[in-house]
Structure 1
Amino acid sequence: CGAMRKLTCALLCLLMILSIAFCLTACKSRTDEMADQEIYTEKQMNKMKNKVIKCINEQDKEGLKKLFSKDAQKHIEDLDGKLDQLIGAFNGNKIESAKGEGSGFEGSVSTQPIHIYEDYNITLNNGDEYTLFVSFCDKNDNEPEKVSLIQIELRTFSSEKTPKDFSGGTYKDDYGIFIYTLQNYPKE
């Protein structure tokens, strides 16, 4: 009977060790997966940001238009006019730097679609500071026409100069190009 008890105790200990080890590896792999996802989205965000900035700096309206998803191109009213306004808001000045304010993503490789978005404080070559928001769909295997740029929001003022009653603009998944000045911005 004593031997049985020892064997049972040894088996229970072994089961506990195995279950703890399993939990630790499961937690670790979940953390690794999240870290991998963040690294992946950061890379994708930087690629998109660089393409958007390059097109703005080169005043490449057609290049900027092609960055928008096919679905967004169909649904944005007067896309050409809005692209002209966006490029025109820089008055021929170039973006010299873009510092990320805060990025985020929704979805994952296993739960598509993946939407990625970030706010940037941008500095122009004339010293002006603007705020640029970029939102895009990175992966959507079921609806590939929805993949690519969804929204660009430009605030022709820095985040420090954002009025207290500024409502935060549009929702990150809304299709469009939105340009706000200190005279014309959505209030709370």
Structure 2
Amino acid sequence: MNIKRLILFITIITLSLGLTACGSVKINLMKARESALNDEISNDNKIGNAHIKKIIECLESNDKKGLRKMFSPKALKEAKDIDGGIDYIMEFYKGKMKSRDEGTIPTKDHNEDGERKSELDCKYTVTTDKDTYIVFFKDQTVDTKNPDNVGISMLQIIKESDRKKYFDWGEGKSKCAGIYRPATVKN
């Protein structure tokens, strides 16, 4: 009878240790996944912040060619009038940047059959010495199947006071390739 109890006791201890080890492995895997996700979010923020900085630099220095280079080849092909849009946005944006928020950067990732796509929807509030603007852009950072999609596909700059009237995350009336111009603006 004592041998049966001893075997039962050893079995319980062995199982307990095994379950504890599995639990710590699972916790370590979860921590590793969380760390990788945080690194990816940090990288997305760095990309978005670098691109908003470049957009503002182009606007403030009237660098039309520099702004044009930020767009993907596909967006340049599909835009109705990219050069007219750039002229419009250069005229619309006034002043020198005094501040900007850290932005909102939701990411859309898609992995299927070895093909990867990643798109950032970047929204910033930029305050200049003249006005306050919402600067929104869609940025395809990865497309392993169609590299011509990589780059900015859509840019929208509106006055912050017109947010409710025009801003919809580039999904509704502002959805376009190139530069968004409200319907009230002649192309």
**1:116 is matched with which residue: 111, 120, 123?**
120
**1:95 is matched with which residue: 86, 94, 97?**
97
Matched, 1:46 2:49: yes
Taking structure 2 as the reference length, what is the TM-score of the superposition? Answer: 0.83
Identity %: 20
Equivalents in 2 of 1:34, 1:174: separation in Å? 30
> Which is higher, the Rg of structure 1 or of structure 2?
2
Equivalents in 2 of 1:71, 1:124: separation in Å? 31
2:110 and 2:117 in contact (8 A); partners too = yes
Instruction: Pick 1 or 2: higher relative contact order, CA cutoff 8 A, min separation 6.
Output: 2
Equivalents in 1 of 2:165, 2:81: separation in Å? 28
**1:29 is matched with which residue: 26, 29, 32?**
32
Cα distance per residue 1:56-97 (max 9 Å; x no partner):
111111111111011111111111111111111125x33332
* Equivalence for 1:175: 177
5+ long unaligned stretches in structure 1: none
2:73 and 2:149 in contact (8 A); partners too = yes
Alignment RMSD, CA only?
Answer: 2.6
Equivalents in 2 of 1:116, 1:77: separation in Å? 22
Q: CA deviation at 1:45?
A: 0.7
Equivalents in 2 of 1:89, 1:176: separation in Å? 16
Corresponding letter in the other structure for 1:57: E
Q: Aligned with 1:107: secondary structure?
A: strand
Equivalents in 2 of 1:70, 1:144: separation in Å? 9
2:75 and 2:149 in contact (8 A); partners too = yes
Equivalents in 1 of 2:45, 2:170: separation in Å? 22
Equivalents in 1 of 2:54, 2:43: separation in Å? 17
Cα distance per residue 1:101-131 (max 9 Å; x no partner):
42211117998311112211112233x1111
Matches within 5 A, 1:59-70: 59-70=62-73
5+ long unaligned stretches in structure 2: none
1:135 and 1:151 in contact (8 A); partners too = yes
Q: Aligned with 2:116: secondary structure?
A: coil
Residues 1:152 and 1:164: Cα distance change in structure 2 (over 3 Å):
closer
